[in-house]
Structures are given as structure tokens and as C-alpha cells.
Chains A and B, each alone.
Chain A
Amino acid sequence: MTHGKTIRVGDLASARSGDKGNHANIGVVAKDEDAYGVLCSRLTAVRVQTHFQELGVTRVERYELPKVLALNFVLYDALGGGASRSLRIDTQGKLLGTSLLDLTFHANAWEDNDQ
């Protein structure tokens, strides 16, 4: 397999995350329409769930907001009990957005085996 260019989500978008009880959300805002298109096709709910697998996420829902070039990911049961009960330092999932920006995929979709 040839190794083409890899794309980091952070090169295409910014992100911000927070809590809703024991669930977390990550808002991903694309830099421009092209970046939004790439994110829509490549940054799937499955890909995000895999990235945060060890947090115990049970389900990821992806919502599209094309008018503001944003995706909203809701990560169910991601916060180890939620703000007051979580034993983790990041009780409110504030770091998840920054972590998602470090996810990379191959520029050519067919090179990604985890799609």
C-alpha cells in the first residue's frame, strides 16, 4: 500500500467540547466549505466513537449544521458518571475537542483501513 498524505482534523477545523450530564458533545467548526465537505465524508460517528473507545462511549450521534459549516457529535455515556461523579481529572469532557483535532486520516479515503 502506498502511503499518501495524512490529514489532521485540526488542519481542517476547530473544536470545542463540553458536558450534558454523563454525555459529552464536541462541536467541530470547519475552516471553509471544502474542509466541511471533507469532514462530512471522513469524520464519521464511527470514527469518533473509535477514537474515544476507552472512555466507555456507548453511542455517538452526528448532527450536521451546514449553514455554519459545523458538525456536532454527541458522545453518550462518555464522562464516567458526569461532572460530580467522574473519577477523571477532566470531569466535564473539556479536553475531548482538543483530542479530536489530533485524529488523522489519509488524504485518499481508500488508504484508510478503519473506515
Chain B
Amino acid sequence: MKTIRIANGAGFLGDWLDAPRRLVARARVDYLTIEHLAELTMSILARQREKDPGTGYAEDFLDILRSLTPALKAQPQLKIVANSGGMNPQACASAAGKILSEAGLGDIAIGCVAGDDLLPRMSELIAQGCEFTNLDTGERLAGTPQGADAPRSPMGAVRSSAPKSEIRNPKSEIVSANAYLGARPIADALTAGARIVITGRVADASLTVGPAMHEFGWRWDDWDKLAAASVAGHLIECGAQVTGGYSVDWQDYELADVGYPIAELTDDGGVVITKPEGTGGAVTRRTVAEQLVYEIGDPRHYLTPDVDCDFTAVEVEDKGSDRVRVAGSTGRPATDTYKVSLAYRDGWMASGMLLVYGSDCREKAEACGQIILKRCELAGYPLAHTNVELLGFGGGVPGAWFWRKFQTPGELVLRVTAHDPRREAVECFARQFAPLVTSGPAGLAGYATGRPQVRPVFAYWPTLVPKSLVTPQVDVRPAKECFS
């Protein structure tokens, strides 16, 4: 029976940079996946690309690739599949090609998967009848025929009290719109000889399904096999979260050298989740079950572009020695739409913190919060949305009742946040923290970290697009030909 080993070395952009190198140094794997894109990472990358057309991808990937060049030389079986291309997979492939060429690996083929970026095509897609209805709220996008007179367009949806004039043309307000592509273009790139595959927005699980389809030659309508590979992909996509990371049993695990996960897939659809020998963390029934239900909705329908998976059919069997067998996955035909992650501009936000000390810290922190907001009003900037949190006194989960049984602590962190359509209003807000040190109550510290940063807000608009209107693009070429 043929077995392939697919590992994951990053669960989000910002994950442990050294994890991929440490992983392939201690375990022989066929594929290393790198998952760099969360729901809103695309809009952040889109904004980077707006400022500099040569950017807009996860630059962490280049550091990871540099750290992997010795392994790529020593382990001919090792391939990499990464969605680090973000908003600009071509630029990422080009930079990767340069790194590989400089390391003497210019003949390695890089596959670039694109076609997920719908932003340049919004007018055309709307003209073809796409309504881009918000999956969560049912609202229609302004600018679509039915949404033209809708009271709540993207800008309006945020703040129903916003003056009509603020509801600008959504085509200029939308920052990014990306379809979640599936496993097929990844499998195509591998079949065309790519050893490194760099994609834009691809569904997380598809990073694992692509290699499985390429290796096993399963049919694209073998739904149970697609489901098995998707479950494996879902389990490893968040890195160490399936190997003991972010666990309530944290005291039981050595996490400093936590092992990142490996999925062993066999051509009959079998899956075993494990990790490199001698690493920290653990793979048990519970770490796997916790990750199975992580960030899912209805477990009977875990939808990917490749298949509709039934997670309630999944069985998990602890084989000991950090090996957990995952079986029973069943799938139904994939839907005829791609999920689209769309982001639009939604004003500005800033958040500041101060340490408030003393037996009266609770009342004092609340007073400081009110002083900050009152001074914004005095400056002529009443803020649209604000929040005052007392961290250390239950602010992490407002209202959760168990905090009420605790006494007021002797110190807490005051955190005040403001969100407003006007950048200048939020700038004004950010300037109100430091002055409290001389003009507020006694017992404040922590202002030395500087003025809170004012950042643009990109709101999230989940929607769908018919698969028939999106064509994934695959470009495979030697690393040395990826850049000029």
C-alpha cells in the first residue's frame, strides 16, 4: 500500500518561523505545507500591494524557504505547498526563485497558482449577475442591481447611522475579494513537475488534498477519499494545535520544542496523525478531537471547494506513541460555488493600554477610560464606537459570571479602543493616553510604549461566486526562470 507523509510547518502568518526547518530535520516527509492566510490576512496583504506592487505576499515564507534549502538539497523527495502567495503569488514565486537559484537550486520547478483574485473582475462579475450576498447577514453588496438601493451597503452595514454620502461606490471601497480555490490547481502543478507550489487564496485543507490527489490519482468524484484527505488537511492546517499546542492540558506537555504535525495518508483513504519523534507536545485522541471541531459550523457539512465532508462520521483511535488513526470520513459532492472572502474599508481604529495600580484600581481605571473619551468630545470628536476593558478583572470575556466571585485585584490593565469613520477622530483619541500620567489619577504606568497606532479597519464580507466564473491558473517553471 502506498503511503505519503504530509506535514504542516505553519498555521498562520506569524507562526514559529523555525518550525518548518526543525520539522524536516527530524522527520522524513514527502510534502511540507505552509498555511499563511487567515480570513483577513488577504486584506492586509492587499494594502501592502497597493503601496508597493512588488509586495502583497507572506514574506515569512522567504525566510522559511531560506532555512529549508539544505533540506531541499539533502532530501530529494521533499516538496513544499504553501498558500503564502497571498495577494501576489507571482511576486512570491519570483522572490522564491531568486532564493533557490542563489542556493544552487535554480532547476527546481516552482508552480504558481493564481486566479483567485476577483478584485479586478468585480464589475464584470456583477454584470454577469453575481450578487455577492453576505453569507452571514443576507445583505446584498451595493453596486449590484438588487443592492443599488439597499439601505445597508458595505459602508452602511457597519454603521447604520452613517450619512448616506459615506456610502461610496463599493468598487472603490473593496480592498480585496478572493475565491477560495481548491486542490485541483495544486495537483495540476505537482503533476506538471513542480516541487514548490505557491498559491494565492486556496482553502486550507486543499493544501493537503492537492498532494494526495496527485500521488494517489483518485477520481475527483471519489467523495469519501476527498473527505478523508480534507479531514487530514483540516487537522494539520493549524500547526501545533493538533500536537498539544493551545491545549487546556498544557501542563502535561513540553511545548518549547513542540513537534509540528504530520498526516500519513494511504491510497485506501487511511489517515494517521503524528509528529516527529523526540519532539515536545503530544498527539492523542483529545488533541485530534479538539482540532477536528476547531472553527467549524455544522459538522455534517464541512464545505471545502473539493467536497462536502461529514465530520460526524469520523472516528478517532489512539494507537499510542503519538499516533492517532482517523477513519470513517464520508463526503458528498462539492457545491458549485467557491467561497469568497471580501474585505472593504471601514474607518479607523486604535487601542491603548495603561497599567492602573492600587486598591482602588477598578474605579480608577473606569474613570480614566471616561476621561479619555470625554477629552475626545471636548476636542470636537465624539467617537462612533468605543469600548473600555478592565483586563485582570474579567475583561477578556465580558459578563462571564465566574469573575464575579473574585475580589477586585490590586492592579489591572485598562484598555480603551475606538473605531470611527474619521481618521482624525481616532488620531485625537490616540493622543489622550499619555497626558493622563500628569493630568489623571495617581497610580498609572505603562505609557512609555508610545502613542497607540491608528490602523485602517477592513471589514469582512463572506460571500460566494459560481465556480463556472472562476478559472484557476497554473504556471510551472524552473526557479531560475521565475525572476528577471
Partners in one complex: yes
Q: Please list the residues of chain A having a beta carbon within 8 angstroms of any beta carbon in chain B.
A: 10, 14-16, 18-23, 25, 27-29, 31, 51-55, 61, 63-70, 72, 74, 80-85, 87-90, 95-99, 101-103
Given the known interface contacts A14-B247, A87-B387, the answer about A52 and B400 at a Cβ–Cβ threshold of 8 Å is: yes
Residue of A15, A61, A97, A99 most packed against chain B (CB within 10 A):
A99
Interface pair A84/B459, CB less than 8 Å apart = yes
Contact with A along B233-251 (1 / 0, CB 8 A): 0000000010000111100
B249 with A96: CB separation less than 8 A: no
Determine the chain B residues whose CB is within 8 A of the CB of A15 once the complex forms. 248, 290
Could you list 5 examples of A-B contacts with CB < 8 Å? A27-B296, A74-B298, A84-B457, A87-B385, A87-B387
Q: Is the CB of B312 within 8 A of A67?
A: yes
Question: From residue A114, how far is it (CB to closest CB) to chain B in Å?
Answer: 10
Tell me if A14 and B311 are in contact (CB < 8 A). Answer: no
Q: Is the interface of B mostly helix, strand, loop or mixed?
A: mixed
Question: What are the residues of chain A within 8 A of B458 when measuring CB–CB?
Answer: 84
Q: How far is the CA of A72 from the CA of B395 in the complex (A)?
A: 24
Across-interface contacts of B124 in A (CB, < 8 A) = none
| Whole-angstrom CA separation of A84 from B344 in the bound complex | 11
Whether a CB of chain A sits under 8 angstroms from the CB of B299 is yes
Q: A87 to B419, Cβ gap below 8 A?
A: yes
Counting CB contacts under 8 A, is B314 at the interface?
A: yes
A67, B315: Cβ atoms closer than 8 Å: yes
Contact A21 B460 (CB under 8 A): yes
Contact with A along B289-324 (1 / 0, CB 8 A): 111111111111000000000011111100000000
B398 nearest in chain A by CB position: A54
Q: Could you say which residues of chain A place their CB within 8 Å of the CB of B52?
A: none
Q: Which residues from chain B sit less than 8 Å from chain A, CB to CB? A: 38-40, 43, 135-136, 158, 241, 246-249, 285-286, 288-300, 311-316, 328, 343, 346, 349, 351, 385-387, 389, 391, 395-402, 415, 417-419, 457-460, 462
Q: In the complex, what distance in Å separates the CA atom of A96 from the CA atom of B286?
A: 18
- How close is A95's CB to chain B, nearest CB, in angstroms? 5
| Cβ–Cβ contact B39 & A83, under 8 A | yes
| Chain A residues in 8 Å Cβ range of B397 | 52, 55, 90, 95-96, 99
Assembly CA distance A68 to B298 (angstroms):
15
The 5 closest A-B pairs by CB, nearest first: A54-B399, A27-B293, A87-B387, A18-B295, A87-B417
A interface SS class? mixed
Contact between B294 and A88 (Cβ–Cβ < 8 Å)?
no
- Tell whether, in the assembled complex, residue B248 and residue A25 are in contact, meaning their CB atoms are under 8 Å apart: no
**Are A83 and B40 closer than 8 Å at their CB atoms?**
yes
Q: Which residues of A contact B415 (CB under 8 A)?
A: 89
The answer to whether A68 and B315 have CB atoms under 8 Å apart is: yes
How many residue pairs link A and B with beta carbons under 8 A? The number is: 153
Complex contact B248–A85 (CB within 8 A): no
**B311 — which chain A residues lie within 8 A by C-beta?**
65
Q: How far is the CA of A55 from the CA of B400 in the complex (A)?
A: 9
Interchain CB contact under 8 A, A88 and B248: no
Contact B292 A68 (CB under 8 A): yes
Among A52, A72, A102, the most chain B Cβ lie within 10 Å of the Cβ of: A72
A96 nearest CB neighbor, chain B only: B397
Min CB distance B125 to A, Å, is: 21
A27–B293 alpha-carbon span in the complex (Å): 5
CB neighbours of B241 from chain A (8 A): 16
Q: Enumerate chain A residues within 8 angstroms of B300, measured Cβ to Cβ.
A: 63
Most buried by A among B294, B298, B343: B294
Residues of A within 8 A of B418 (CB): 87
- Bound Cα distance from A103 to B312, whole angstroms: 26
Q: Is the CB of B290 within 8 A of A29?
A: yes
Do B293 and A72 touch across chains, with their CB atoms under 8 A apart? yes
Q: How far is the CA of A65 from the CA of B349 in the complex (A)?
A: 39
Given A87-B417, A88-B387, A74:B297 Cβ within 8 A: yes
Does A25 contact B295, Cβ atoms closer than 8 Å? yes
The answer to whether A14 touches B389, judged by C-beta atoms less than 8 angstroms apart, is: no
Chain A residues whose CB sits within 8 angstroms of the CB of B296 once the complex forms = 25, 27, 72
Closest chain A residue, CB of each to CB of B389: A89
A21 with B39: CB separation less than 8 A: yes
Closest chain B CB from A59 CB (angstroms): 12
Q: Do A55 and B136 touch across chains, with their CB atoms under 8 A apart?
A: no
Closest Cβ neighbor of B315 among chain A residues = A67
Which of B297, B346, B396 is the one whose CB lies under 8 Å from A90? B396
Query: Once bound together, how far apart are the Cα atoms of A23 and B39, in whole Å?
Result: 13
Q: Tell me the nearest residue of chain A to B343, going by C-beta.
A: A84
A29 lies within 8 A of B293 (CB): yes
Are B462 and A52 neighbours in the complex by a CB distance under 8 Å? Answer: no
- Are A29 and B289 in contact, with the CB atoms below 8 A? yes
Partner of B396, one of A18, A25, A69, A95: A95
Q: Which residue of B lies closest to A97 (CB)?
A: B248
| Chain B residues near A22 (CB-CB < 8 A) | 136, 460
Which chain B residues border A31 with CB–CB below 8 Å?
286
| Complex contacts, B38 vs chain A, CB 8 Å | 83
Most A Cβ at <10 Å: residue of B40, B247, B346, B400? B400
Within the assembled complex, what's the spacing in Å between the Cα atoms of A51 and B398? 10
